[in-house]
Chains A and B, each alone.
Chain A
Amino acid sequence: MLARMTKNRILLADDDVELAQLLRDFLVREGFDVVLAHDADAAIAAVHGDKPFDAMVLDVMLPGRSGLDVLRELRRDSTLPVLMLTALGEDIDRILGLELGADDYIPKPCNPRELAARLRAVLRRAHGETGTETMSDLQCENVSLRAAARSVSVDGEPVTLTATEFDLLALLMREAGRVVTKERISQTVLGRPLGPYDRSIDVHVSNLRRKLGNAADGQSHITTIHRSGYLFRKLDEH
């Protein structure tokens, strides 16, 4: 970690003041620089403040406007990595959050060490440290991916992807024409093993499909291989 000069700046949005303070104490000790926000408006104001953040930890249960509203507003113009805190058992919140572009989630109450680990994984993705193999520029059909700039364009039009979506696309395009299992996607992209009933990957893929649009033959670039994984189609091979 010596390579990084500055500490990662984290925005922690949680309405439970006491919990937020405790988490800040913990995350500071783990080497993060933490700013607190206790409601939706404060969180959005902080994101649009002078000093940029590296990531955001967002509780979906914020008073007034919910965390999902914050996420929706944020995603209009920002790819700031977001780690959601969701109530245990509230699957709807989780799926909705991922659909709105959250990078990952962690159920609450959580083990704080797990929170720190997930946060680091999200940050690594954002900094493009996931692919240890030297990532090269990729081109498949009308989708082109430039590794250095971490940008993607379809038919020359730039597409805004979150860090997670970018890594997911890069992995699928590198393996274009071959099935990539969900386990591998989870390990490579999210940095954790695939949990049972974990639908995160599916939601990320569905977001990606929406953003990329359809291939020349009118079907999605990414095909679901039932019970197995996903496949980025190479049209000329079919």
Chain B
Amino acid sequence: MRRLFWRIFAAFWLAMVVLVLAMVWITTRNFETEKIPGLDVTRLQATMDDQLARVARDLRRNGPDGPHRWLRASDARGPVRLYLLDRQGRDLLDRRVPSEAAEAARTALLGLDPADPARSAAAEPDSDRIRLRLVILRDGRRYAAVAVFDGSSFGRLLYHRPYAFWSHIGLALVVSTLVSGLLAYYVAHPIGRIRGSMRRFAEGDLDARVGRLRFGRSTEMTGLAGEFDRMAERIRALIENNRRLVRDVSHELRSPLARLRVALELAREGDPAETRRSLDRIEREADRLEAMLAQAIELSRLETAHEPRRERVALDELVDHAIRNADYEGALRERKVVQTATAPIRLQGAPDALYSAVENIIRNALAYTADGTTVEVALLRDPADPALARIVVRDHGPGVPENELVRIFEPFYRTDAARTRSSGGTGLGLAIARRAVINHGGHIIACNADGGGLEVTISLPVEPAA
């Protein structure tokens, strides 16, 4: 987080500084090389000529002592230096004169034709970097005013800048620092927040969330934070469901295991008849353990399933199949399963999960309906909504207390009636059914039917009637 902030800050800041330098360089460059429209001189040359003209005027008006101020000032600032040379080639201030300038001055002074003073007005513009102007005073003394432009481009950038220039640069640096810092924080802060939440989550704190970002609420960051929070929520739900399932399963496995151990002890030292009875019991408990594990795995699979395999399922055939299988088993205990209504209904779904749902509901009804009674199963379209199918399973058993009607779909939830009887159920059937139905976008409810018995209704979105 810290490092990210500094990296972004440095990148922004460097970019800004480079930009400022580039701008300065470009304007300087333009000043030196761009010709004034319509004239054949650059702005730089025009400025140099202008300075020479002013020096010349000063010299003519005030004599050799006049332009000292000009000459000194040109030394102190600006890339253009002014020299004033007499006929002997000596500078008025006795400075060292660059050889090019001295040469140009000498040529100009010697070549000056006294018979043609008009030439003294404007000397030849000789090169880009050196401008020269001859001055003839009234007493006939002759001088050459030379303007020399400092040649090093880097030096031109840094030296001889007026005070205002540096204060502008300083201000620009301060502003760019502030803006860079703000921008870096704007990006780095939300990333740091999100990263911190992720790390806490990875370290096992399943409740770690980014929440509402206080700063740096760009669309992308808010979206990223939201996605993370949604992901964390889903993972937490999955983990907790699985954790609870593992806890419940290991808890539930104890009962058959306890019975198994006692039966084992009884088989160890009993008479042959008792041993056989105990072995039968052990086999039964082993079957029960196996069924419970199979169902626990199925429930776990359904709960973590991302997208169930989809294919076209004939719901009426599926229900019919489940009814016939259950009816066959119920016959042993004088219990029947009959179909009271059916309709040709198709839907997109996972046939095995749907079958498992219907089968578990019917089996549950079969387990609780009284001996000699009938479990009634109806498949019909919702009269109000043709895109909804209902499967209603009704038994003639003891029913369920009103306040427990919702809870019977929780894994291993048992009503008191179910607890004391040895119905042999695994406690997972209804949970599996509910999960399968929810995965298909439907829902499942239970209510006590008029005249006793439990009525479970599955509602599923299906293809509308053709």
CB-defined contacts of B422 to chain A, threshold 8 Å: 17-18
Please report the C-alpha to C-alpha distance between residue A63 and residue B413 in the assembled complex, in whole angstroms.
Answer: 12
Is A19 positioned at the interface, with any CB of B under 8 Å from its CB? yes
B382 to chain A, nearest CB (A): 38
Partner pick for B258 among A17, A19, A38, A63, CB 8 A cutoff: A19
Task: Please determine whether B251 and A39 come into contact, CB atoms closer than 8 angstroms.
Answer: no
Please report the C-alpha to C-alpha distance between residue A29 and residue B269 in the assembled complex, in whole angstroms.
Answer: 10
Given the interface pairs A87-B254, A109-B254, the reply to whether A39 lies near B420 with Cβ below 8 Å is yes
Partner pick for A63 among B261, B270, B416, CB 8 A cutoff: B416
Is B255 positioned at the interface, with any CB of A under 8 Å from its CB? yes
Partner pick for B420 among A26, A29, A63, CB 8 A cutoff: A63
Most buried by B among A19, A29, A112: A19
Is B169 positioned at the interface, with any CB of A under 8 Å from its CB? no
Is A96 positioned at the interface, with any CB of B under 8 Å from its CB? no
Partner pick for A112 among B254, B257, B262, CB 8 A cutoff: B262
CB-defined contacts of A23 to chain B, threshold 8 Å: 262
Please report the C-alpha to C-alpha distance between residue A38 and residue B419 in the assembled complex, in whole angstroms.
Answer: 10
Task: Please determine whether B259 and A112 come into contact, CB atoms closer than 8 angstroms.
Answer: no
Is B281 positioned at the interface, with any CB of A under 8 Å from its CB? yes
Is B265 positioned at the interface, with any CB of A under 8 Å from its CB? yes
Is B263 positioned at the interface, with any CB of A under 8 Å from its CB? yes
Is A64 positioned at the interface, with any CB of B under 8 Å from its CB? yes
CB-defined contacts of B260 to chain A, threshold 8 Å: 109
Given the interface pairs A87-B251, A88-B254, A108-B254, the reply to whether A19 lies near B259 with Cβ below 8 Å is yes
Please report the C-alpha to C-alpha distance between residue A122 and residue B259 in the assembled complex, in whole angstroms.
Answer: 23
Task: Please determine whether A112 and B265 come into contact, CB atoms closer than 8 angstroms.
Answer: yes
Task: Please determine whether B420 and A15 come into contact, CB atoms closer than 8 angstroms.
Answer: yes
Is A199 positioned at the interface, with any CB of B under 8 Å from its CB? no
Partner pick for B265 among A15, A26, A63, CB 8 A cutoff: A26
Band of interface residues on A:
20 to 34
Query: Can you list, as one digit per residue, whether each of A84-128 has a CB less than 8 Å from chain B (1) or not (0)?
Result: 000110000000000000000000111111000000000000000
CB-defined contacts of B419 to chain A, threshold 8 Å: 15, 63
A104 to chain B, nearest CB (A): 18
Chain A contacts with B in 32-66, Cβ cutoff 8 A: 38-39, 63-64
Is B370 positioned at the interface, with any CB of A under 8 Å from its CB? no
CB-defined contacts of A111 to chain B, threshold 8 Å: 261, 265
Task: Please determine whether B420 and A38 come into contact, CB atoms closer than 8 angstroms.
Answer: yes
Task: Please determine whether B261 and A17 come into contact, CB atoms closer than 8 angstroms.
Answer: no
CB-defined contacts of B257 to chain A, threshold 8 Å: 109
Is A175 positioned at the interface, with any CB of B under 8 Å from its CB? no
Most buried by B among A18, A39, A64, A110: A18
Residue of B nearest to A25 (CB): B266
CB-defined contacts of B421 to chain A, threshold 8 Å: 17
B151 to chain A, nearest CB (A): 89
Given the interface pairs A87-B251, A108-B254, the reply to whether A18 lies near B261 with Cβ below 8 Å is no
Is A141 positioned at the interface, with any CB of B under 8 Å from its CB? no
Is A16 positioned at the interface, with any CB of B under 8 Å from its CB? yes
Task: Please determine whether B258 and A64 come into contact, CB atoms closer than 8 angstroms.
Answer: no
A63 to chain B, nearest CB (A): 5
Is A22 positioned at the interface, with any CB of B under 8 Å from its CB? yes
Query: Can you list, as one digit per residue, whether each of B402-426 has a CB less than 8 Å from chain A (1) or not (0)?
Result: 0000000000000010011110000
CB-defined contacts of B269 to chain A, threshold 8 Å: 29
CB-defined contacts of B270 to chain A, threshold 8 Å: 29
B215 to chain A, nearest CB (A): 45
CB-defined contacts of A64 to chain B, threshold 8 Å: 416
Task: Please determine whether B420 and A22 come into contact, CB atoms closer than 8 angstroms.
Answer: no
Residue of A nearest to B258 (CB): A109
Please report the C-alpha to C-alpha distance between residue A109 and residue B255 in the assembled complex, in whole angstroms.
Answer: 7
B225 to chain A, nearest CB (A): 38
CB-defined contacts of B254 to chain A, threshold 8 Å: 87-88, 108-109
Task: Please determine whether A19 and B255 come into contact, CB atoms closer than 8 angstroms.
Answer: yes
Query: Can you list, as one digit per residue, whether each of A1-38 has a CB less than 8 Å from chain B (1) or not (0)?
Result: 00000000000000111110011011001000000001
CB-defined contacts of B420 to chain A, threshold 8 Å: 15, 17, 38-39, 63
A205 to chain B, nearest CB (A): 30
Task: Please determine whether B262 and A19 come into contact, CB atoms closer than 8 angstroms.
Answer: yes
Residue of B nearest to A59 (CB): B258
CB-defined contacts of A29 to chain B, threshold 8 Å: 266, 269-270
CB-defined contacts of A15 to chain B, threshold 8 Å: 419-420
Task: Please determine whether A26 and B266 come into contact, CB atoms closer than 8 angstroms.
Answer: yes
Residue of A nearest to B424 (CB): A18
Given the interface pairs A16-B258, A108-B258, A112-B261, the reply to whether A22 lies near B416 with Cβ below 8 Å is no
Most buried by A among B255, B274, B422: B255
Task: Please determine whether B281 and A22 come into contact, CB atoms closer than 8 angstroms.
Answer: yes
Residue of A nearest to B414 (CB): A63
Chain B contacts with A in 258-288, Cβ cutoff 8 A: 258-263, 265-266, 269-270, 274, 281
Residue of B nearest to A115 (CB): B262
A112 to chain B, nearest CB (A): 5
CB-defined contacts of B261 to chain A, threshold 8 Å: 109-112
Please report the C-alpha to C-alpha distance between residue A112 and residue B255 in the assembled complex, in whole angstroms.
Answer: 14
Task: Please determine whether B259 and A26 come into contact, CB atoms closer than 8 angstroms.
Answer: no
CB-defined contacts of A22 to chain B, threshold 8 Å: 259, 262-263, 266, 281
A132 to chain B, nearest CB (A): 30
B416 to chain A, nearest CB (A): 5
Most buried by B among A16, A29, A38, A88: A16
Partner pick for A18 among B259, B265, B416, CB 8 A cutoff: B259
A127 to chain B, nearest CB (A): 25
Q: A17-B422, A109-B257 are in contact. List 11 more A-B contacts (CB 8 A).
A: A16-B258, A17-B421, A19-B258, A22-B262, A22-B266, A22-B281, A25-B262, A29-B269, A29-B270, A109-B255, A111-B261
Which 8 A-B residue pairs are closest in the complex by CB-CB distance? Answer: A109-B258, A22-B262, A109-B257, A112-B265, A19-B259, A112-B262, A63-B419, A109-B254
A-B contact pairs, 19 of them (CB 8 A): A15-B419, A15-B420, A18-B259, A19-B259, A19-B262, A22-B263, A22-B266, A25-B262, A26-B262, A39-B420, A63-B419, A108-B254, A109-B257, A110-B258, A110-B261, A111-B261, A111-B265, A112-B261, A113-B265
